[in-house]
Every structure is written in C-alpha cells, then in structure tokens.
Amino acid sequence: MIQYNPKTWFSLIFDVYSRYVIKLLLPLIIFLGVFTTLLVFLLVDVFGIHYDGTIGFHSILGVILGLFLVFRINTAYDRWWEGRKLWGKLVNDCRQLSIRIGVFLPKDNVEDREFFRRMIPNIVFAMKEHLRASILIGEMDTINEHYQRVIIASKHRPNKIASLLYERVMILRKNETFSAEQLFLLDKELKGFTDIIGACERIKNTPIPYSFSMFIKKFLFIYSCTLPVSFMWDLHYWTVPIVLLAFYFLVSVELISEEIEDPFGKDINDLPLDELSYKIKRDVHEILTQPE
C-alpha cells in the first residue's frame, strides 16, 4: 500500500498511478478512439446525417450507470475496510496475548518465552502468505528443524501454527504453570487467530457475483460505444476526446473496485500486510524479551 499525503493535490493529480491506469486501458482507449473517429467520419462527413434529441437518452443511462458504479465502489471498499479491521484486530490480539503470556510465565522460563516470542509472529506471517497463495516461509522464525518440517508439511499453515500454540499452552496448563483462569484468558486471543483467518478467507474466496460483474462491464462498454451519438452532430471530431475522457473516468472506477475488493495482494491499493506483520513481530519481541 502506497503512503501519501491526501492534502497534496498537485502530486495526486499527476501521480504515477494515473499513468498505470492509462497504460492498462490503452488498448480499449485506442479501440474506442478509432471507433468514434470512424463513426463521426461516416455518419457526419460521408452520409451527412444529422439527428437531435439523443442526449436525453444517455443522461438517463448515465444516472443508472452512476448508481451501479456507486454500489460497485462501496461494495469493494467495504471488503477492503473489513480486511483492514481484521488485521487491526490481529495486531491487538497479538499484543494482548504476548502481554498476558509475559505476565503469566515465570521470568526464569526462558524456553517457553522464546517459543511464544517466535511462534506468535510466525502465525501472522503464515496468514499473510496464505492469503497471497504463497508457500514461502523465509520470514518465519521456526525455532528448529522439527517445527520447520511440521509447518512446511501442513496444507493450512495458519491452522497448524495455531494448533502448535494451543498445544504448548495446554502443556503449560497440565504442568500447572498456567492456572485454569489464566488459560481461560488466553483462549480468547488464541481462538481469535482462527476467526481472523477465516474471515479473511471469506473476503478473498467470495468475489463479486459473476452476473453483476459481467453486467456492469457490458453496461460500461455499450454506454461508451453509443456515447458518440449524443455529441457528434454538434461537436464533430471534438466528440473523440470527450468520449475518451468519459470512458477513462468510468472504467477507472471499475478498475479500482476490482483491485481493492481483494485487499490482501501486493497491488498499490492493497493493505500493507508486510508492514503490519513486521510491526507485530517487533511488538511481540519487545514484550516477551527479558531485559538484561
């Protein structure tokens, strides 16, 4: 996710992302530009046809299209914002779990402190890579080869690491290192890992319904291709830049919606999962590392 100052109008207007959108839309822009030019040439210059009264039709369609686009961008942003809230909760849960474990564990229990100091950030990195359909474990601190093999062999690594955390907590309960009341307090954050990854998977694996996505793209295409008819009789070849500008803004909204509806990737508008993961790791290490 790119960091920016929302008050810098000039830099935002001429931002590189605008050039990225233009590059992505260039084939369609060229097609629509050639199509509009040929339409004006044939109907106005060659056949000399003139017809009034079509602007009202596209005005009505424009209102309907606007409602569709508002719904589209709101739906996509809701998914993006829900993902951000889930990762915000993950940050808080990791901190709270670390604080409680740091208080509950005896200060001389170096082995268990080290286990949680490494494994709590590991589940965060596992979630990040899982949501990106990646199998990389290079950012994880797997303690030893045994844990590394167990994590690599698992098909759902966040679940496996959550299971390892639960196992260690239950061992500490059986050894009476943790009391029943302390186990109850820890259970909330441990359960939260499964809830968060499940909610993130729901966002990632449930795209916008096919019929809605197909219809809005078809609507945008038909509206853009018929838009020259509303202007060409009076504006002639000035119709070309007007249609292309309208097409650019309309389709850009759809492109942005497609990008933010899956907020867990590496696109410019996706959530800063890398930064959040390392932030959690720093916080957990600070909480569970014993001062010398």
Task: Please give the pLDDT value at position 63.
Answer: 85
Q: How far is the C-alpha of 81 from the C-alpha of 98, rounded, in Å?
A: 26
Q: Tens digits of per-residue pLDDT, 84-107? A: 999 999 999 999 999 999 999 998
Q: List the structure tokens of 283.
A: 């916080």
**R_g of the chain, CA atoms, integer Å:** 27
Mean pLDDT of 107-133: 93
Q: How far is the C-alpha of 177 from the C-alpha of 199, rounded, in Å?
A: 33
Task: Please give the pLDDT value at position 53.
Answer: 56
Q: Tens digits of per-residue pLDDT, 37-74? A: 999 898 888 877 777 656 777 788 888 888 888 888 99
Q: List the structure tokens of 27.
A: 């084939």
Q: How far is the C-alpha of 180 from the C-alpha of 176, rounded, in Å?
A: 9
Q: List the structure tokens of 137.
A: 């474990």
- Average confidence score pLDDT of the chain: 88
Q: Do 23 and 250 touch, CB atoms closer than 8 A?
A: no
Length of the chain in residues, anyone?
Answer: 292
Q: Do 268 and 258 touch, CB atoms closer than 8 A?
A: no
What confidence tier does 6 reach under pLDDT thresholds 50, 70, 90? low
Q: Which residue has the higher pLDDT, 290 or 156?
A: 156
- Percent of the residues in the chain that have a pLDDT greater than 70, as a whole number: 91
Q: Where are the domains of the chain?
A: 18-50+208-246, 80-205+273-288
What confidence tier does 130 reach under pLDDT thresholds 50, 70, 90? very high
Q: What share of the chain is helix, strand, coil (3-state, %, to 5)?
A: 80, 0, 20
Q: List the structure tokens of 74.
A: 């709101």
Q: Tens digits of per-residue pLDDT, 238-279? A: 999 999 998 988 888 888 888 889 999 888 888 999 999 999
Task: Please give the pLDDT value at position 287.
Answer: 93
Task: Please give the pLDDT value at position 21.
Answer: 75
Element (H, E) at 81: helix 55-104
pTM above 0.75, yes or no: yes
Find the distance separating the first CA and the last CA of the chain, reported in whole Å.
37
Indicate the range of 70-74, 109-113, 228-232, 277-281 predicted with least confidence.
Answer: 228-232
